[in-house]
Structure 1
């Protein structure tokens, strides 16, 4: 890949990331949420109560970020934290009724944002996007060894050797 192609690709990814986050922030603000908090709510909605350390891993966030998010969401009544029975130093985080209702609102908002984001793309491209984007994410994930995701095939694609 030459520099012009690399620059165009990197700029497109950077701008998409910035604009998507800004759009998400604008949509989340009326719900009283900041970017990142919706991911925590949706994770708890998907999995049920979790230990904060597990949330940190699942969200790809540093533990202090999850601690800050949980404090804010607890203060607003959307989650509750309680000591883990197996380890009193760990906190189990769970949604309250208010948090479940808010997660439902976030799901609707997330559907609208996704539809807005892919407007004008063919259905086949939209269906392929999660796999493509997950591969791109894996390619730059600093938490995994480089060789663990090298040459990973996309969805429905055969592995090349």
Structure 2
């Protein structure tokens, strides 16, 4: 799932405040901010990736391959619904 600009901005602000990343204006367009991980942010990349891998493995370990596929299909439908929340709901 992707995050929109307000959520992205909030995330950047929070992570900047705890010094996990830095922001600086882009040299050719001062309206654009360039975001870089700090050493502390880079140090967290692998531990966070490990947490996500573990979560993925644990969350599907008791599911059959068909159940995993069905769950993934449903998750994509939910994601699309959230992304397209402003459109009219389907008529049933």
Common fold by TM > 0.5: yes
Aligned to 1:113: 55
Q: Which residue of 1 aligns with 2:13?
A: 71
Deviations 1:3-52 (A, max 9, x none): xxxxxxxxxxxxxxxxxxxxxxxxxxxxxxxxxxxxxxxxxxxxxxxxxx
Residue in structure 1 matched with residue 44 of structure 2 by the alignment: 102
Give TM-score scaled by structure 2 length: 0.69
Distance of 1:114 and 1:60 partners within structure 2: 20
The change in CA–CA distance for 1:109 and 1:88 in structure 2 (over 3 A counts) is same
Match for residue 122 of structure 1 among 54, 59, 64: 64
Change (3 A) 1:108 1:91: same
Cα distance in 1 for residues equivalent to 2:76 and 2:59? 16
SS in 1 for 2:62: coil
How many correspondences in the alignment? 88
| Structure with a larger share of its residues in strand | 2
TM-score between both structures, scaled by the size of structure 1: 0.44
Q: Gaps (5+ residues) in structure 1? A: 1-57, 151-161
Unaligned runs of at least 5 residues, structure 2 = none
The alignment yields a C-alpha RMSD, in angstroms, of 2.7
Answer with 88-97 or 131-140: which moved more.
Answer: 131-140
Structure with greater helix percent:
1
